Structure 1
Amino acid sequence: MSIKSFYPVLQVENPPGVADFFTNHFGFQVAFTTDWYVSLRNGAHELAVLDCTHPTIPEGFRLPCHGVLLNIEVDDAASEYTRLRKAGVSMKLELRDEAFGQRHFIVEAPGQILVDVIEEIPPAAEFADAFIASA
């Protein structure tokens, strides 16, 4: 199989509000918009939001997403943390370094969507062997 594109589509109650969050805070641009669906792009990266009650979703699955964590990798997590904090974005996990090789923090987008902003850092010795050389 040859995959041409792969991206998440988040089922939400307020597609325009969620889209605004990602355009205002993470540099996404709107590629397509209706009142029930918004397609976003930032370079080669794509994200879409869909009204969770839309009839294209099979019955029994027309619910807002829950428990979603989106990762955004950046060059400098500390500067992004400062920028987003100044913008009043809701912080759910403060900036911290993890032994497994991440400096990160987590913010909340509308609809209880979590966004983990990550900078790779050298892992502690006990995690170094867990990284696959070809990855």
Structure 2
Amino acid sequence: MPAVLFDVDPFRTPFVVTRRPTNLYFTALPAGADESAARVVLARDVRAGDLVLASFASYPIPGRVTPGTSWVTRPYAADPRPWNPDCTCTPCSVGRDVCGPVPSVVFAVDDTRWGLECDVWEADEPVLVIPAALLSLPVPA
């Protein structure tokens, strides 16, 4: 997929979506996932089963006028749930310390070598997903 511009709403800068990397650090999309079906949505609008592909750089980059794609290394099926402010995993603790009490959503809880870890997103954060309805096969959990 060549670079594509997406516009979530007229008050934001458009998002540049570049081709997904194909090196050893990025796992291939699962069977049934077509990159051309990807959509930019806000985190609060991600639904169960949507395949999470990327976020967008929220920090300014000199010379760049549009936020670029920050691909996740391993796409995963979203399982959205409200953020638990009492969670003690590292992502929740860092989010609480850095971002403060903002409306957030957790897309997944992974069992990592450090224990259970949440994937926390701010509710208004843009996310690149392939909607579950556009996946030709269900994505394994």
Question: TM-score of the superposition, structure 1-length normalised?
Answer: 0.30
Larger radius of gyration: 1
Q: Determine which structure has greater relative contact order: mean sequence separation of CA pairs < 8 Å that are 6+ residues apart, divided by chain length.
A: 2
TM-score by length of 2: 0.29
